[in-house]
């Protein structure tokens, strides 16, 4: 084979630092973007937060704001209007800060300069105080609650060590996840020859199982239910029958075989219903009330609202901190100066411009994609989930002339606030199922129909997956029984035998 040199011409995409930065910002959530902006402010002296007034004319677009518009020339206010002319939105905010005197004496008191009759604090129930009150702090954990009860019991030092070891083996649900042998081995490593025996450990465990919450320290669900029933007053109706059911026929109860329960314990249908109702009133996770829970808040990136009969889309101005170039440091740059300090200022200025441009590009792309999604899903906004249209990433990318990967990035962890709730943009994408008339139905709409059918079913004789599939077929939606089962499980709806109830 003879070697030779050849020249070929072809297009090639080069991932410049600016493009990499724009792509990275595009896929960040609002929370991550806020952290990214804060890091940029800390590392780049040319960047500063944009004030609401007295902005200098730097000849540079300061970046996305509440009036960000898409590349199709949407009107100011950051809105996309689908019919009619664009309307102006008044987003101005009245300043509530009074001007501070410039010549304030150094040793002056605030009361001497400002009116001392101003209220000392916000009235009770004001917005800020109410917000702080609604933020629940870390409550008492299950372990702390059990240790507090353990300290109230007169125990020997050895029994107290056993109790602490047992409590350390109880998980957040209230179940003991270690065996008595493992507790003994752990205490043997701490106490050596003074380690207790299994009988002594079991005695302390029984004392812990009598603590609150009822059922704590159980090793399985059956023991948990039995412990709770035993702590009920003896005069509780159907307590003894419920104990027998949990001890002897828990599997039949779990499978809702009420006929077998009635035959085994010689109970009528109404009596079985009373026993089952008592068992259902118990908690299968006694420690759940003490589990540490952190409330997570979603910050919408885009708002959609109906004004004068037309749906309008606008960016959330508070989701992205507004930035601008610092005019003081920019004016310090000298063109002919090649000193390290001057070169550093030039570098920071260029990076600041790139960052602001990337933020603006992110907001414009997000607004364009949100506008197209709302345009295609008007029926959902008007009528709900059952009117959801099938839509995939390719539909949006083809309509906007963007790559599917860009659409995927801009719709991941970005949230749209609608009159029907706040949804991730990914929520509006769903596969399609063919209909009897040759059309297509969204899988989201089919899930909504299944949910509606189950909500309206007869609880004595609930609908099976096959029956639901037959009903959907009559309505013109061709779905198989296994498809119905998949959608039902995805919505965490139990099967028909578990949904069955007494009349």
pTM of the entire predicted model: 0.62
Give the sign of the dihedral formed by CA 247, CA 249, CA 251, CA 253. negative
Through-space distance between the first and last CA atoms of the chain, rounded to whole angstroms: 87
Would you list the DSSP string of 451-503?
A: HHHHHTS-TTSPPPHHHHHHHHHHTTB---HHHHHHHHHHTT---HHHH----
The reported pLDDT for the residue numbered 294 is 62
Q: What is the mean pLDDT of each run of 10 residues along the chain (503 residues)?
A: 76 75 88 91 91 45 39 42 39 39 41 39 41 53 91 90 92 91 87 81 92 92 92 91 90 84 87 89 88 73 92 90 89 84 90 93 94 94 90 93 92 93 92 70 89 89 91 88 90 85 63
- Residues 349, 341: Cα–Cα separation, whole Å: 12
The reported pLDDT for the residue numbered 408 is 93
Reported as half-sphere exposure (CB side, CA atoms, 13 A), residue 94 has a value of: 1
The reported pLDDT for the residue numbered 18 is 80
What is the location of CATH 1.10.10.60 in the chain?
A: 432-499
Give the sign of the dihedral formed by CA 223, CA 227, CA 230, CA 233. negative
Give the sign of the dihedral formed by CA 471, CA 474, CA 476, CA 479. positive
- Residues 239, 278: Cα–Cα separation, whole Å: 8
- Residues 297, 307: Cα–Cα separation, whole Å: 27
The reported pLDDT for the residue numbered 251 is 86
Give the sign of the dihedral formed by CA 475, CA 479, CA 485, CA 488. negative
Candidate CATH numbers 3.20.20.70, 3.40.50.300, 1.10.3720.10, 1.10.10.60; the one for domain 432-499: 1.10.10.60
The reported pLDDT for the residue numbered 139 is 66
The reported pLDDT for the residue numbered 127 is 43
């Amino acid at each position: 084979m003879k070697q030779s040199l050849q020249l070929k011409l072809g297009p090639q995409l080069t991932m410049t630092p600016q493009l990499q930065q724009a792509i990275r910002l595009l896929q960040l959530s609002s929370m991550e973007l806020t952290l990214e902006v804060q890091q940029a402010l800390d590392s780049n002296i040319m960047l500063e937060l944009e004030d609401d007034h007295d902005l200098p004319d730097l000849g540079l677009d300061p970046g996305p704001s509440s009036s960000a518009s898409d590349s199709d020339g949407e009107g100011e206010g950051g809105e996309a209007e689908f019919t009619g002319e664009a309307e102006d939105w008044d987003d101005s905010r009245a300043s509530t800060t009074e001007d501070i005197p410039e010549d304030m004496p150094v040793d002056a008191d605030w009361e001497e300069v400002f009116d001392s009759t101003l209220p000392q604090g916000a009235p009770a129930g004001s917005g800020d105080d109410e917000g702080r009150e609604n933020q629940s702090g870390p409550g008492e954990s299950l372990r702390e609650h059990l240790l507090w009860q353990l300290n109230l019991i007169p125990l020997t030092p050895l029994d107290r060590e056993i109790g602490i070891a047992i409590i350390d083996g109880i998980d957040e649900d209230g179940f003991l996840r270690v065996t008595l042998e493992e507790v003994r081995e752990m205490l043997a490593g701490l106490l050596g020859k003074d380690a207790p025996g299994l009988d002594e450990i079991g005695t302390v465990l029984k004392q812990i199982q009598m603590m609150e919450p009822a059922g704590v320290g159980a090793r399985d669900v059956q023991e948990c239910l039995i412990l709770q029933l035993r702590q009920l007053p003896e005069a509780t109706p159907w307590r003894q029958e419920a104990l027998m059911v949990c001890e002897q026929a828990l599997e039949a109860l779990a499978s809702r075989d009420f006929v077998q329960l009635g035959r085994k314990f010689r109970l009528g249908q109404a009596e079985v219903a009373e026993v089952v109702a008592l068992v259902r009133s118990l908690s299968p996770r006694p420690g759940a009330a003490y589990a540490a829970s952190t409330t997570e808040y979603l910050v919408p990136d885009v708002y959609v609202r109906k004004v004068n009969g037309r749906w309008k889309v606008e960016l959330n101005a508070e989701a992205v901190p507004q930035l601008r170039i610092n005019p003081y440091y920019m004016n310090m740059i000298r063109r002919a100066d090649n000193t390290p300090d001057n070169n550093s200022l030039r570098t920071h200025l260029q990076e600041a411009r790139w960052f602001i441009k990337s933020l603006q590009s992110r907001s414009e792309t997000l607004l364009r994609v949100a506008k197209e999604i709302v345009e295609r899903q008007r029926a959902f906004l008007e009528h709900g989930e059952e009117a959801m249209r099938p839509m995939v990433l390719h539909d949006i990318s083809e309509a906007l002339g963007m790559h599917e990967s860009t659409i995927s990035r801009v719709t991941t962890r970005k949230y749209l606030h609608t009159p029907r709730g706040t949804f991730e943009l990914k929520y509006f994408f769903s596969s399609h199922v063919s209909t009897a008339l040759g059309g297509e139905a969204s899988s989201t709409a089919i899930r909504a129909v299944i949910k509606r059918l189950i909500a309206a079913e007869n609880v004595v004789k609930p609908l099976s997956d096959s029956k639901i599939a037959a009903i959907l077929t009559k309505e013109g939606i061709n779905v198989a029984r296994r498809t119905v089962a998949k959608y039902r499980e995805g919505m965490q709806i139990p099967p028909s035998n578990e949904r069955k109830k007494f009349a």
